[in-house]
Amino acid sequence: MSATARDLVPPESRAPSGAPAKQVRSGKVRRLSKRDKAVLSLMVGIPTLIQLVFIWLPTVMSVGLSFTRWNGLALGDIRPAGADNYQYISQDYPPFWPAIQHNMLWLAFLALVATPLGLLLAVLLDQQIRGSRIYQSIFFTPVMLSLALIGIIWQLFYQRDNGLLNFLLGTSGTQQAVDWFGDSSINIWAAMIAATWRHAGYVMLLYLAGLKGVDPSLKEAAAIDGANAAQTFFRVVFPAMRPINIVIVVITIIESLRAFDVVYVINRGTNGLELLSALVIQNLVGEGQVIGVGSALAVVLLVISLVPIVFYVSRTFGKEKRS
């Protein structure tokens, strides 16, 4: 489970390990025939067109629709609405602010509980302990499951009358039995724990790969300088994993904005489980489609998502652009 990253390095570049990919890039294909140019434009053109039509055009249309009033029926019925939809969601739409709070809570929980837990598991499993692989496989299992399925599996665990948790707590069948997914004051916490189940395993996997990539001589040097285990980790090893850390930060933020499946499976994102993504969908499907309102919510989600996306993209491609 651990020695896999190696496989994904092309054979040629493997031998002088760590040969920078940049060197290679300078090799250009100089002489392009007409036919080559035609082939290339198809190779670039078709995927780009798909990307534009299915991803970026809808993104722009979301922004456009958010300034209109429309029931989703005839295209001719689209009416300009100015900023009315934004005014409506921020002032007269009760679930909006709870959803913003829940999204922030979700992010805080993943960032402060799930991600550190994943890191802790990775650090513990990175020592050569017996059964490391078995532990890894166990923690990794939920990563393969869809979040929708995780909602179902935890539903079985959380139910009020027949769920295992209330039985273990000894409250099953009594007045004190908690309806973990039904009680609006705690269901967000129950849902976040279910999401942690998956997120921590994912973070563990990435950090295990990251830890293997840290040069052991760094640790040895720190040990010689008299650093203890904690100092070595926080001052030497953790900073050395900077690229992975950035990826984890981005993944954590994006996951918290994308959280949708779990709450939708539980109760469609109502009654204590309002999230921006779920509100978007509530306004689009079913009766009384209010496309403008749904789009305004989608734009709020888009603007927030652009923060981690721009951060990540500028980190990843910044150097290449300069060179």
Partner 1 sequence: MSAAVSPGRAMTGKSGRSGSKPKRHYGTHIFLTAMAVMWLIPLVWAVFTALRPIASTNEHGYFSLAGDFNFDNFIQAWSQGGFAKYLWNSVIICVPAVLLVLFFASMMAFAVSRVSWKFNVTLLIMFTAGNLLPPQVLAAPLFEMAKHFQVPYSFSDSGNMLNTYIIVIAVNMAFQMGFCTFVLSNYMKALSADLTEAALVDGAGIWRQYREIIMPLCRPAFAALATLEVIFIYNDFFWPLLFIQSGDRLPVTTAINNLQGEFLNNYNLLAAGAVITVIPTLIVYLLLQRQFVAGLTLGSSKG
The residue among 265, 287, 264 whose CA lies nearest residue 279 is 264
Buried b (16+ CB within 10 A) or exposed e, 229-263: eeebbeebbbebbeebbebbbbbbbebbbebbbbb
12 binds partner 1 (CB under 8 A): yes
CB of 308 to partner 1, least distance (A): 7
The residue among 251, 249, 257 whose CA lies nearest residue 105 is 257
90 binds partner 1 (CB under 8 A): no
CB of 61 to partner 1, least distance (A): 4
**Binding residues among 111-130 for partner 1 as defined by CB under 8 A:** 121, 124-125, 127-130
CA distances from 270 to 27, 267, 276 (A): 56, 6, 11
Residue 292 · residue 68 · CB < 8 Å: yes
Angstrom distance (rounded) from CA 136 to CA 211? 14
153 binds partner 1 (CB under 8 A): yes
**Binding residues among 255-284 for partner 1 as defined by CB under 8 A:** 255, 257-258, 260-261, 264-265, 276-277, 280-281, 284
321 binds partner 1 (CB under 8 A): yes
Among 67, 88, 93, 157, indicate the residue that binds partner 1 (CB under 8 A).
157
Residue 251 · residue 111 · CB < 8 Å: no
Angstrom distance (rounded) from CA 276 to CA 305? 12
Residue 150 · residue 229 · CB < 8 Å: no
251 binds partner 1 (CB under 8 A): yes
Among 95, 118, 210, 272, indicate the residue that binds partner 1 (CB under 8 A).
210
**Binding residues among 216-245 for partner 1 as defined by CB under 8 A:** 216, 241, 243-244
CB of 152 to partner 1, least distance (A): 5
**Binding residues among 161-190 for partner 1 as defined by CB under 8 A:** 162, 164, 167, 172
Residue among 185 and 323 whose Cβ is closer to partner 1 = 323
**Binding residues among 284-303 for partner 1 as defined by CB under 8 A:** 284-285, 291, 294-295, 298-299, 301-302
Helix residue ranges, H only, 259-290: 261-267, 276-282
Among 85, 159, 187, 232, indicate the residue that binds partner 1 (CB under 8 A).
159
Interacting span for partner 1 (CB under 8 A) from 82-90, 108-116, 208-216, 228-236: 208-216
Per the listing, tokens 């070595």 go with 232
Among 71, 87, 231, 316, indicate the residue that binds partner 1 (CB under 8 A).
316
100 binds partner 1 (CB under 8 A): no
Among 212, 227, 249, 270, indicate the residue that binds partner 1 (CB under 8 A).
212
CB of 128 to partner 1, least distance (A): 6
79 binds partner 1 (CB under 8 A): no
CB of 256 to partner 1, least distance (A): 10
DSSP structure class, residue 232: I
Residue 263 · residue 275 · CB < 8 Å: yes
Three-class SS state of 25: helix
Three-class SS state of 69: strand
Among 86, 96, 202, 238, indicate the residue that binds partner 1 (CB under 8 A).
202
Angstrom distance (rounded) from CA 272 to CA 175? 21
